[in-house]
A and B are shown apart, each in its own frame.
Chain A
Amino acid sequence: MNRIEKQLVENKNNNIKSLVAYLVAGDPNMDDTLSLMHGFVDAGVDVIEVGVPFSDPIAEGPIIQSAHDRSLANKTSFEGIIDLISNFRKKNTNTPIVLMGYLNSFLKNQKAFSRFDDIGIDGVLIVDAPGEYSLKDLGISNANVVSISLVSPTTTKERTKKICNASSGFIYYVTLKGVTGSSNVDLEEIKSNVIDLQKNTDLPVMAGFGIKNKEQAESISKVADGVVIGSYLVESIFEAKKTTDYKKIYNYLSEIKSVINK
């Protein structure tokens, strides 16, 4: 069984809500990304989403966009990200890892894709790939890598079904109409949409885009199987860079993990 499936099923069976944390590979640099990943796990993160920087990230708000730009300015390459995951796996063989990025990066690195499971990459979330397409449809298949798709507030019932059928691992519910890190989340609407979504799938549902504080995380986790924190972490990593003290970030993540499991 794939690490993602194993971890999330285990959490669900034990009634534990999952915490998914995002960072951009190579921001501020690969060494820090590696130590942040280990720090995330120690703080209680269940799944790590590693952002693959792209020159034209159309779904990202200014915070993650800038992180992509900084990372590319550091000459982050796909091969460098593969090395990062290999290095992470030297110490950690359990925590699921998802690569989140844009289709062009994965198409250009098809060869590496077939080695993903050997390297220790468990899933991909391709922001601009239509959710009803399987990885095979896109020409980048690897039977041991799960394909996580987004469902948004504008997704119709008909599409939701198709997307759920083509997905594996978990479903990522986009909590707002907007780019990553926006601030207009409507908690009640999110909850009712997540409940509707769960009727279409047995896969765990993680909710994210714009979730920052403990209150939001706690409220959403009443219905979702977990929450995703992205922009807030990317911003905190950027701010901590001056001091390279990431303790505050780890404390924040532990607190989130505990409030969603209150």
Chain B
Amino acid sequence: MKNKYSEPNSEGFFGSYGGKFVPETLMEALDELEKCYEDIKSDSEFQKKIDRDLADFVGRPSPLYFAERLTEHFKGPNIWLKREDLNHTGAHKINNTIGQILLAKMMGKTRIIAETGAGQHGVATATVAARLGLECHIYMGAEDVQRQSLNVYRIKLLGAHVHPVESGTATLKDALNEAIRDWVTNVDNTYYIIGSVTGPHPYPMIVRDFNAIVGRELIHQSQASFQSLPDAIIACVGGGSNAIGIFHPFIDEDVRLIGVEAAGQGIDTGKHAAPLNDGEPGILHGAKSYLMQDSDGQIMATSSISAGLDYPGVGPEHSFLKDSGRAEYIAVDDESVMKAFHQLSELEGIIPALETAHAFAPLDLICSEFNEDQNIVINVSGRGDKDIASVAKLEGIDLE
């Protein structure tokens, strides 16, 4: 019998990736978090609480929907959509924040911080912080504050403070830097809710576990809908939290796992955000993983139409799954993403987030590899409301 998949190891490594590469002041906080998480993981009261919140506040389980017209269009396998876009706050991000805020509360922390790119994680964090009455600070790259103004306003409506970050490239990576600096300074009373499967151990594991509800639901739903497991699962990958959430329960199963990165203006141009396709291992934000870096080890600026994927690193577990060959990672450029965005809107009546549209862009290619009896599932990680203004602008349409 095969060994059951059990990454990461006790030191937080997925193979050779991951670990805890942070300033010394944070080491104790990470150890404390790890211990607390291990304690509550098996606590049935805590699990019940999370399950109740996921059902009544988030609206889980999210449906598995048969995309009939999309299936007809590609004339290949049956295409099913896992509807994370229907969650409260509009994306998968809330699965993680619901869990982490309860952890924060149990650890006696009174102040919540988070970074955000597209703003979805910022909204999901501000939402749960409001619900528990905790002070909340969101760090966001100044450039992202511009292109995701709707989410910035949502975060403010929820009573949280938004701190635009001007340093470096003024995008997601710089927001992360600033959040880490805040945490180093206020480590006694502050809980840092990381939004993706990135950062130092135990975050990649915790964020994965809280998002794995998506994959666990899919096991039952696919049995009920087509009496087998899916033949393939497709998800977009920035840091990679929605992808790992839906992949993880299937790692030991015979299911193709396909992650789609942002090729931005094209892999050849170097202006992209696809470290698994065109990067190399290095250390950023506390973990070893594939990175976009130059020959001197400096982190490179990235380019993507979607703020949520505009990040030079990726979760360490994806690096491990890439090297082991268990998951496949491809990349699609901005132009094909825009096509997929319109296609899903027009064929299925679902306007996806630009991040999510990446998972639909390679369907032509992927569908040609499956026959009509097979079933593939795409994770619809988020809805597109937040992107309407920027898409209109890109297409030269004046909404005023």
For residue B330, CB closer than 8 A to chain A, the reply is no
Q: Name the interface residues of A139-191: CB closer than 8 Å to any CB of B.
A: 149-156, 159, 163, 174, 177-179, 182
A58 touches B187 (CB 8 A): no
With an 8 A cutoff between CB atoms, is A61 at the interface? yes
CB distance from A160 to the nearest CB of B (A): 10
Cα–Cα, bound, A150→B284 (Å): 19
Q: In the complex, what residues of A have CB within 8 A of residue B19's CB?
A: 130
| Cβ contact within 8 Å between A56 and B285 | yes
A32 to chain B, nearest CB (A): 21
Contacts of B188 in A (CB 8 A): 177
Flag whether B293 is at the interface (Cβ < 8 A): yes
Cα of A69 to Cα of B180 in the assembled complex, Å: 18
Let me know if B150 is at the binding interface, CB within 8 A: no
Q: Mark A59-86, 1 if CB is under 8 A from B, else 0.
A: 1111001000100100001100000000
Does any Cβ of A come within 8 Å of B366's Cβ?
no
The answer to whether A56 touches B25, judged by C-beta atoms less than 8 angstroms apart, is: no
Find out whether the CB atom of B181 lies under 8 angstroms from the CB atom of A179.
yes
Residue of B nearest to A57 (CB): B177
Please tell me if A129 contacts chain B, counting CB pairs below 8 Å: yes
Q: Which residue of A lies closest to B22 (CB)?
A: A128
What residues of chain A lie closer than 8 Å to B27, measured between beta carbons? 130-131, 154-155, 159
Does A9 have its Cβ within 8 Å of any Cβ on chain B?
no
Interchain CB contact under 8 A, B28 and A59: no
CB distance from A70 to the nearest CB of B (A): 12
- B173 contact set on A, CB distance < 8 A: 56
A247 within 8 A of B: no
Main secondary structure of the interface of A (DSSP, over half): loop
Q: How far is the CB of A53 from chain B (nearest CB, A)?
A: 8
Q: Are A179 and B185 in contact, CB atoms less than 8 angstroms apart?
A: yes
Asked if residues A153 and B177 are in contact (CB atoms below 8 Å), the reply is no
| B185/A107 in contact, CB under 8 A | no
A163 and B19 CA atoms in complex are apart in Å by 17
B396 contacts the other chain (CB 8 A)? no
Asked if B46 is at the interface of the complex by the 8 Å CB criterion, the answer is no
Given the known interface contacts A55-B298, A131-B24, A177-B25, the answer about A107 and B283 at a Cβ–Cβ threshold of 8 Å is yes
User: For window 170-192 of chain B, which residues contact chain A by CB distance below 8 Å?
Assistant: 173-174, 177, 180-181, 184-188
Interface centre among B20, B29, B184, B185 (most CB of A within 10 A): B184
In the complex the two chains form, what is the Cα distance from A130 to B285 in whole Å? Answer: 13
Residues in B neighbouring A78, C-beta threshold 8 A: 296-297
What is the CA–CA distance of A5 and B395 in the complex, to the nearest angstrom? 64
> In the assembled complex, which residues on chain B have CB atoms less than 8 Å from the CB atom of A11?
none
Q: Decide yes or no: A178 and B168 within 8 Å by CB, A108-B295, A154-B27 being known contacts.
A: no
Contacting residues, chain A, for B187 (C-beta < 8 A): 154, 177
Residue in B21, B23, B28, B285 whose CB lies within 8 Å of A159 = B28
Chain A: minimal CB distance from B167 (Å): 6
Report the nearest A residue to B178, measured CB to CB.
A58
A128-B23 in contact (CB<8A): yes
If A128-B286, A177-B187 touch, does A56 touch B299 (CB 8 Å cutoff)? yes
Q: Tell me whether A104 is interfacial, beta carbon within 8 Å.
A: yes
Q: Which residues of B contact A54 (CB under 8 A)?
A: 297-298
> Given known contacts A55-B299, A156-B28, is B293 in contact with A69 (CB within 8 Å)?
no
Complex CA–CA separation, A65 to B185 (angstroms):
15
B282 at the interface (CB under 8 A from A): yes
Residues of B within 8 A of A151 (CB): 24
Distance from A122 Cβ to chain B, minimum over Cβ atoms (Å): 21
Known A128-B286, A156-B28; contact A56-B21, beta-carbon cutoff 8 A: no
Contact across chains for A130 and B20 when beta carbons are under 8 A apart: yes
Q: Given the complex of chains A and B, what is the CA–CA distance between A57 and B20 in angstroms?
A: 16
A236 in the interface (beta carbon within 8 A): no
Instruction: Tally the A-B contacts, defined by beta carbons under 8 Å.
Output: 109
Residues of B within 8 A of A261 (CB): none
Whether B185 lies near A129 (C-beta < 8 A) is no
Q: Is the CB of A59 within 8 A of B23?
A: yes
> Which of B23, B26, B168, B284 makes the CB contact (< 8 A) with A104?
B284
Given contacts A55-B168, A59-B23, A128-B23, contact A104 B282 (CB under 8 A): yes
- A30 contact set on B, CB distance < 8 A: none
Instruction: Find chain A residues with CB under 8 A from B23 CB.
Output: 58-59, 127-128, 150, 152
B19 to A, closest residue via Cβ: A130
Determine if A58 and B185 form an interchain contact, defined as CB atoms under 8 angstroms apart.
no
Cα separation A154 to B26 with both chains bound (whole Å)? 8
Tell me which residues across on chain A come within 8 A of B28, comparing CB atoms.
Answer: 154-156, 159
| Docked complex Cα distance between A235 and B29 (Å) | 30
What 1/0 flags go to A32-60 for Cβ under 8 Å of B? 00000000000000000000001111111
Q: Which residues of B contact A203 (CB under 8 A)?
A: none
**Residue among A55, A60, A106, A153 making CB contact with B25, cutoff 8 Å:** A153
Cα of A54 to Cα of B282 in the assembled complex, Å: 13
Kindly report which residue of chain A lies nearest to residue B295, judged by CB atoms. A108
Write out the residue numbers on chain B whose beta carbons fall within 8 Å of the beta carbon of A127.
23
Closest-CB distance, A262 to chain B (whole angstroms): 30
Interface residue? A16 (CB, 8 A):
no
Q: Which 10 A-B pairs have the closest CB atoms?
A: A108-B297, A178-B185, A59-B23, A152-B25, A150-B24, A154-B28, A55-B299, A55-B298, A104-B297, A152-B24
Q: Given A56-B284, A177-B184, A179-B184, list of 19 further CB < 8 A pairs?
A: A56-B174, A58-B184, A59-B181, A59-B184, A72-B298, A77-B296, A106-B297, A107-B283, A108-B293, A109-B296, A128-B22, A130-B20, A130-B27, A131-B24, A131-B27, A154-B28, A155-B27, A163-B24, A177-B187
- 9 residue pairs A–B, Cβ–Cβ below 8 Å: A55-B299, A59-B181, A62-B167, A77-B296, A104-B283, A104-B299, A105-B296, A152-B24, A178-B184
